[in-house]
Amino acid sequence: MPRESAAEPTEPTVSAVRPASALPPGRPAEQLLAELRDLRAADAPTRGGRTFAYVYDAGLPDLDELTEAAYGVFATVNGLDPTVFPSVARLENDVVGAVSAILGVPGAQGSFTSGGTESILLAVKAARGHARSARGVTRPQLVLPSTAHAAFHKAAHYLGLEPVVVPVDPLTFRADAPAVANAITERTALVVASAPSYAHGVLDPVAEIAAAAEARGVLCHVDACIGGWFLPFLARVGLPIEPFGLSVPGVTSISVDLHKYGYAHKGASVVLYRDAELRRHQYFAYAGWPGYPVVNPTVQGTKSGGLLAQAWAVLHHLGHDGYTALARRVALAADQLLPGLRSLDGIRVLGDPAGSLIAFTVHSSAGTPDLGLVLHLADEMRERGWYLQPQLSCDGLPPNLHLTLTPATSDRVEPLLADLAEALTAARACEPVIVDPALVELGATLDPDTLTPEDVAGFLAFAGLDGAGGLPTRTAPVLALLDALPPRLKERMLTEFVGSLFRI
Ligand SMILES: *Cc1c(COP(=O)(O)O)cnc(C)c1O
């Protein structure tokens, strides 16, 4: 092998096809670190409270030092085998125990995972295994309010379950508990409620949904990925928060991301089950090969001990008091932002946000949600240095902008509102976004599975997404086009687009 690869560089095709991936003879560390820092310049800022999605900034500069140092201590440890690295089991039990102390019940057991998606995949896998062994379900279904996170659809896709989607209440954006109850069948492996939902930040009626599931002998997962480490601390500040943890009758598992309001670095989440017997279905064990006997509690095999160590450190450093103070700061930001938003002409906050996530739409002069205005507003805000997350329309739910509030955003509400008012005026003055009706018509006839690479390339070029000239600075025309496409075509186009970003 070494011989062959040594000969390869002389072949002109190798260097011509893959110039960027050729490994250099070696470069000094300083230079590489400088390059990494330079690369960050074009990114959205992750600290400072101007990026209202993807990042969770506690606004405490010392925290990054702690997480980085804690990661460093455990960076070389392999979490694959807690018998060789017992420290991993100790740290994981501490972290899962801390989550269980707030959201669990006596006897609850869980795992530390790489994120919300993995926690959800595992909860669905456990439910599938449980439904098969306890109830003989061989063609399992997953009952999901339409606002359940896309990760459940991913889990259904990976694990072979059929998603059964139940529309939410179009005014409150909360799951419709009676409709969810009606969707439960003999084949249902798991019913889901969100605390709160990502899209609109509203709390589903967890107790009602869990009771309906329990009455049918079906498991119920509460997706508290984003609210699980925030709402309990809001409750400590004295705000009325409906219970949503495992102590609610019928709730059998829950996911809680520590890399969101736990303020750990990314790669930190917990999935918790009411007992070890349920968690058993999450594990994978294999002793039928000649290598070491495998027991993988989670998706990964080899895994860094560093992510666990940094999550453990931040959790214990902030503690109850730290998290309570941070939750209070977020709540204050929301208290200031919500009336400010509502006072802006044409802005409508969606539903009754449970605390830290706010979605709002923008109305046209006719008084209806206007996709073009929503998207122009996002672009105008981006030009003013703020990232607000556009969410497209979906089954009658309006397009909107989504804000994740963090402690770091709490000092920024006034400038944010001032810029929003200005950006709104600018958005209204923009050319209306008009999607070519011929293109929409064409989209309705295209079969996403049989499109040729040329069809796709043509479509992307038309949308300005072919990479020529880099990413578009104004996203409104592109997103408006996407919004008008049927979901599966939208998925195909987005897949091609993202694939085009990762091209070597
Ligand atoms: C973030 C989130 C997820 C997915 O988690 P990742 O950490 O992004 O994988 C799932 N559900 C909700 C409610 C979330 O907010």
pLDDT tens digits, residue range 274-331?
Answer: 999 999 999 999 999 999 999 999 999 999 999 999 999 999 999 999 999 999 999 9
Tell me whether residue 41 is in a domain.
no
Whether the predicted pLDDT of 463 surpasses 80: no
The pLDDT of residue 469: 60
User: Taking the CA atoms of the chain, what radius of gyration do you get in angstroms?
Assistant: 24
pLDDT tens digits, residue range 106-118?
Answer: 999 999 999 999 9
Answer yes or no: do 102 and 156 share one domain. Answer: yes
Q: What percent of the chain stands above pLDDT 70?
A: 94
Residue among 406, 430, 420, 131 at smallest CA distance from 253: 131
Whether the predicted pLDDT of 16 surpasses 70: no
> Span 159-188, mean pLDDT?
98
* Contact call for residues 406 and 59 (beta carbons, < 8 A): yes
> Span 200-227, mean pLDDT?
98
SS3 category, 459: helix
Q: Residue with structure tokens 């930001």?
A: 333
Element (H or E) spanning 109, and its range?
Answer: strand 109-113
Q: What is the mean pLDDT of the chain?
A: 92
Answer yes or no: do 210 and 298 share one domain. Answer: yes
Tell me whether residue 464 is in a domain.
yes
Answer yes or no: do 137 and 234 share one domain. Answer: yes
Answer yes or no: do 217 and 240 share one domain. Answer: yes
What number of CA atoms fall less than 13 Å from residue 170's CA on the CB side? 7
Tell me whether residue 220 is in a domain.
yes
Out of 402, 429, 456, pick the residue that ends a domain: 429
Whether the predicted pLDDT of 18 surpasses 90: no
Tell me whether residue 60 is in a domain.
no
Query: For residue 39, with 0-12 CB atoms within 10 Å meaning exposed, 13-18 middle and 19 or more buried, which class applies?
Result: exposed
pLDDT tens digits, residue range 132-157?
Answer: 999 999 999 999 999 999 999 999 99
- Measure 178 CA to ligand 1 centroid, in angstroms: 25
Query: For residue 103, with 0-12 CB atoms within 10 Å meaning exposed, 13-18 middle and 19 or more buried, which class applies?
Result: buried
Out of 298, 315, 332, pick the residue that ends a domain: 315
* Contact call for residues 124 and 117 (beta carbons, < 8 A): no
The pLDDT-based confidence of 104 (bands split at 50, 70, 90) is very high
Degrees to nearest 5, angle at CA 59 with 53 and 65: 105
The pLDDT of residue 13: 36
Answer yes or no: do 160 and 104 share one domain. Answer: yes
pLDDT tens digits, residue range 177-208?
Answer: 999 999 999 999 999 999 999 999 999 999 99
The pLDDT of residue 484: 87
pLDDT tens digits, residue range 50-65?
Answer: 999 999 999 998 999 9
Q: Look up residue 502 and give its two tokens.
A: 């990762």
> Span 39-44, mean pLDDT?
91
The pLDDT of residue 475: 84
- Measure 282 CA to ligand 1 centroid, in angstroms: 19
Number of domains in the chain: 3
Ligand 1 neighbours (beta carbon < 6 A) = 115-117, 120, 149, 151, 194, 198, 223, 225-226, 257, 269
Answer yes or no: do 441 and 425 share one domain. Answer: no
Task: Annotate 410-447 with DSSP letters as a single string.
Answer: GGGHHHHHHHHHHHHHHHHHSPPP---HHHHHHHHH--
* Contact call for residues 128 and 134 (beta carbons, < 8 A): no
**pTM for this predicted structure:** 0.93
C-alpha dihedral sign at 174, 388, 401, 406: positive
Task: Annotate 9-69 with DSSP letters as a single string.
Answer: GGSHHHHHH-TTTPPPS---HHHHHHHHHHHGGGSPPSSSS-B-SS----S-HHHHHHHHH
Q: What percent of the chain stands above pLDDT 90?
A: 76
Whether the predicted pLDDT of 250 surpasses 60: yes
Answer yes or no: do 409 and 304 share one domain. Answer: no
Residue nearest to atom 7 of ligand 1 (CA): 116
- Measure 37 CA to ligand 1 centroid, in angstroms: 27
- Measure 447 CA to ligand 1 centroid, in angstroms: 30
Answer yes or no: do 164 and 227 share one domain. Answer: yes
SS3 category, 250: coil
